């Protein structure tokens, strides 16, 4: 009979561990799910960093020109927000300026004026402020605002972003890889639709800390923020963490489709209900 006791104990332990896992990764439930589905209703496609040309012409990513083209084409817009050294908001993706501006330095170590003095990919376009982008879009496109940053104690970027959006008349939601930023919106802007970004953390996408990579790619901090949607790398859709989040009701948003085949895979095989895309027109 000893083996039966051992089996029962093992079964109970496994069940408890599974229930703890569900608690950790479970997204928002109930009315939040309905709210999220309604938010994405009518706009399924979002131009990644605006409707840019891959930084090979005169329409660089996250530029006012790229956002204007996305508005005219009738797409939603995904964009990135950084806090600057002087406590303002700049729309820019990278943590450093090398790739897009050809100069060294951390994005957040520069003032907004310094950033706006830089050329984007050698064009006449510059790094815009978040306020400039909101004024340009003016409600013509649904916005997915990705908040950049790794800080877990300084929430100024969330506070500034929320304050700018409080007076904005258009439709918007927020997302971040940082679950503490998503949690800030859960606590301080309860009406906002919020999303957790994730993927299988590669050497390039992840951090040096392997434990942190494990926690982030498996969304084990979702209990802090209870995200309304899960924005996941479409090529990593086989990850158990994504499948579980979707099974538990997390609204699935794909990033980033770079061709028509990617879009079809995201929708038909991945079950994604909204798609962030670039490099082609859907």
**Domain parsing of the chain, residue ranges:** 33-77+142-277
Nearest residue to 47 (alpha-carbon basis) of 258, 194, 227, 234: 258
CA nearest neighbour of 58 among 136, 124, 132: 124
DSSP 199: -
CATH class of 33-77+142-277: alpha beta
In the prediction, which pLDDT does 204 show? 57
Residues in CB range of 125: below 8 A, 6 or more apart: 58, 59, 60, 63, 64, 65, 119
Considering only CA atoms, give the Rg of the chain.
20
- Residue 203: the pLDDT is 60
> Which distant-in-sequence residues (6+ apart) come within 8 Å of 190 by Cβ?
none
Q: For the chain, 282 residues long, give each residue's pLDDT as a single digit of tens.
A: 688 888 888 999 999 999 999 999 999 999 999 999 999 999 999 999 999 999 999 999 999 999 999 999 999 999 999 999 999 999 999 999 999 999 999 999 999 999 999 999 999 999 999 999 999 999 999 999 999 998 888 999 999 999 999 999 999 999 999 999 999 999 999 999 999 999 998 765 666 688 989 999 999 999 999 999 999 999 999 999 999 999 999 999 999 999 999 999 999 999 999 999 999 999
Nearest to 184 by CA among 142, 242, 226: 226
Determine how many CB atoms are found less than 10 A away from the CB of residue 216.
23
Whole-model pTM: value is 0.95
**Amino acid 76: pLDDT:** 98
Distance between CA atoms of residues 184 and 263, nearest Å: 32
Pairing of strands 45-48, 143-147: unpaired
């Amino acid at each position: 009979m000893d083996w039966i006791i051992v089996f029962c104990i093992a079964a109970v332990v496994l069940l408890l561990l599974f229930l703890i896992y569900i608690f950790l990764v479970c997204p928002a439930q109930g009315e939040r799910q309905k709210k999220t589905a309604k938010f994405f209703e009518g706009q399924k496609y979002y131009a990644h960093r605006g409707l840019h040309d891959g930084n090979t012409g005169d329409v660089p990513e996250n530029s006012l020109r790229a956002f204007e083209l996305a508005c005219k084409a009738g797409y939603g817009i995904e964009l990135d927000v950084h806090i600057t050294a002087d406590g303002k908001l700049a729309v820019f993706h990278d943590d450093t300026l090398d790739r897009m501006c050809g100069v060294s330095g951390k994005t957040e170590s520069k003032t907004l004026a310094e950033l706006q003095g830089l050329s984007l990919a050698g064009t006449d376009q510059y790094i815009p402020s978040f306020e400039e982008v909101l004024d340009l879009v003016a409600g013509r496109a649904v916005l997915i605002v990705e908040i950049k940053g790794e800080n877990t104690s300084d929430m100024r970027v969330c506070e500034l972003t929320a304050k700018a959006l409080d007076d904005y008349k258009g439709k918007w939601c927020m997302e971040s890889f940082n679950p503490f930023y998503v949690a800030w919106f859960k606590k301080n802007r309860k009406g906002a639709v919020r999303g957790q970004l994730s993927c299988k953390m590669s050497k390039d996408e992840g951090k040096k800390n392997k434990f942190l990579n494990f926690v982030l790619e498996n969304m084990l901090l979702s209990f802090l923020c209870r995200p309304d949607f899960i924005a996941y790398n479409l090529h990593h859709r086989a990850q158990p963490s994504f499948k579980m989040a979707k099974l538990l009701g997390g609204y699935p948003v794909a990033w980033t489709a770079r061709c028509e085949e990617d879009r079809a895979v995201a929708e038909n095989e991945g079950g994604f209900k909204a798609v962030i895309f670039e490099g082609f027109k859907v």
